């Protein structure tokens, strides 16, 4: 039997809905630019440190997908929770977690968010309502549904934003979670970050239903496809989904059509796609360049934009310096925070 032909993955622009998203104010554009630049520069630095051997284990970078989490955070309020998988540094920074603490956790230092014992996949911040960072594919979907159950039980109007990817969308626990969430009308936004390749297989080869916004149809959960490369479109969809959840109508699915520029992890050479495909997305749809171009068109000076980038680079460089000089955990820490 002949092997199936390799199908090319569609890029984000292939399926985006028509129409323009609501315009941002100047202040919103500037905030989106700074927040996305912080993630981009942080991830670039993390990649450098990994290459130097300062970061061990796995390292999954978020470069290219910044508009998803930044736009969603702009739609949330204090008290809303965030939970995600292992491509998580961007989510941490977007929720306001300190760059020093995130980078120090990556390098296994005591100043890290999990005291240097969790690494990339297991960081948390109760203060910022960030509940991980999880290494088991799809595991966070059930946990995020549980966060929504707690909100419902307590009678507050907080929303659980549960992120997972196109690969995790095929996991069985996702659909068990969907069923419970709709039965109990839980306030959870399921954000599917469709970056087209999961670990390295095109969605056209791995998913029978490639419109992930329809994955909740059999459970009566509404869904929407979103241009995940445009921060304005993300915020508008986040506003809609959050309002639905806060009104007691149950869960909502947002498929963010996005794209990662690097491999699945730092060890992935990404030979399953062409360099031309990646460069085309970078050139035509980069989320940061879109905002930058709109600001330039609105007469914000090049010097002002460079100043924002310089400020962000200073923060990231300081976090890298801290992460390389902070002491490692004491050996006695091996036995703390362990359930017996």
Q: What is the pLDDT of residue 14?
A: 46
Query: Could you give the 3-state DSSP secondary structure of residue 130?
Result: strand
Q: Are 133 and 122 in contact (CB under 8 A)?
A: yes
pLDDT of 101-135, one tens digit each?
999 999 999 999 999 999 999 999 999 999 999 99
pLDDT mean across residues, the chain: 94
Burial of 288 (0-12, 13-18, 19+ CB in 10 A): buried
Task: Measure the CA–CA gap between 65 and 141, rounded to whole angstroms.
Answer: 19
3-state helix, strand, coil in the chain (%, to 5): 45, 10, 45
Cβ-proximal residues to 158 (8 Å cutoff; 6+ apart), any chain: 77, 79, 80, 81, 151, 187
Instruction: Find the Cα–Cα–Cα–Cα dihedral 130, 337, 120, 165, rounded to 10°.
Output: -50
pLDDT of 126-181, one tens digit each?
999 999 999 999 999 999 999 999 999 999 999 999 999 999 999 999 999 999 99
Q: Are 222 and 216 in contact (CB under 8 A)?
A: yes
Q: Where are the domains of the chain?
A: 24-317
Strands annotated E in the chain: 81-83, 160-165, 188-194, 223-227, 252-257
Task: Measure the CA–CA gap between 290 and 270, rounded to whole angstroms.
Answer: 25
Q: In the predicted model, what is the mean pLDDT of residues 192-212?
A: 95
pLDDT of 274-312, one tens digit each?
999 999 999 999 999 999 999 999 999 999 999 999 999
Percent of the chain with pLDDT over 90: 90
Task: Measure the CA–CA gap between 76 and 73, rounded to whole angstroms.
Answer: 5
Q: pTM of this prediction?
A: 0.93
Task: Give me the architecture of the 24-317 domain, per CATH.
Answer: 3-Layer(aba) Sandwich (3.40)
Instruction: Find the Cα–Cα–Cα–Cα dihedral 62, 77, 147, 219, rounded to 10°.
Output: -80
Task: Measure the CA–CA gap between 338 and 340, rounded to whole angstroms.
Answer: 6
């Amino acid at each position: 039997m002949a092997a199936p032909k390799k199908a090319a993955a569609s890029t984000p622009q292939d399926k985006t809905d028509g129409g323009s998203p609501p315009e941002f104010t100047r202040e919103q554009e500037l905030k989106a630019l700074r927040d996305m630049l912080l993630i981009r520069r942080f991830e670039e630095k993390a990649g450098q440190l990994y290459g130097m051997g300062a970061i061990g284990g796995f390292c999954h970078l978020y470069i290219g997908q910044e508009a998803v989490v930044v736009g969603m955070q702009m739609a949330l309020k204090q008290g809303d929770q965030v939970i995600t998988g292992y491509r998580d540094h961007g989510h941490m920074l977007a929720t306001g977690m300190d760059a020093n603490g995130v980078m120090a956790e990556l390098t296994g230092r005591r100043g890290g968010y999990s005291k240097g014992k969790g690494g990339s996949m297991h960081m948390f911040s109760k203060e910022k309502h960030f509940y991980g960072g999880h290494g088991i594919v799809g595991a966070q979907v059930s946990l995020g549904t549980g966060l929504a159950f707690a909100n419902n039980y307590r009678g507050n109007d907080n929303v659980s934003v549960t992120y997972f990817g196109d690969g995790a969308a095929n996991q069985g626990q996702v659909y068990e979670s969907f069923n419970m969430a709709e039965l109990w009308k839980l306030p959870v936004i399921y954000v599917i970050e469709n970056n087209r390749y999961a670990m390295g297989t095109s969605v056209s080869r791995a998913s029978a239903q490639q419109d992930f916004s329809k994955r909740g149809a059999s459970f009566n959960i509404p869904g929407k496809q979103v241009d995940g490369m445009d921060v304005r479109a993300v915020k508008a969809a986040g506003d809609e989904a959050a309002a639905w959840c806060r009104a007691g109508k149950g869960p909502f699915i947002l498929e963010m059509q996005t794209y990662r520029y690097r491999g699945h992890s730092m060890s992935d050479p990404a030979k399953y796609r062409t360099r031309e495909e990646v460069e085309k997305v970078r050139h035509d749809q980069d989320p940061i360049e879109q905002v930058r171009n709109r600001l330039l068109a609105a007469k914000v000076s090049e010097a002002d934009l460079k100043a924002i980038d310089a400020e962000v680079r200073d923060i990231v460089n300081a976090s890298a310096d801290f992460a390389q000089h902070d002491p490692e955990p004491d050996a006695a820490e091996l036995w703390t925070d362990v359930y017996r």
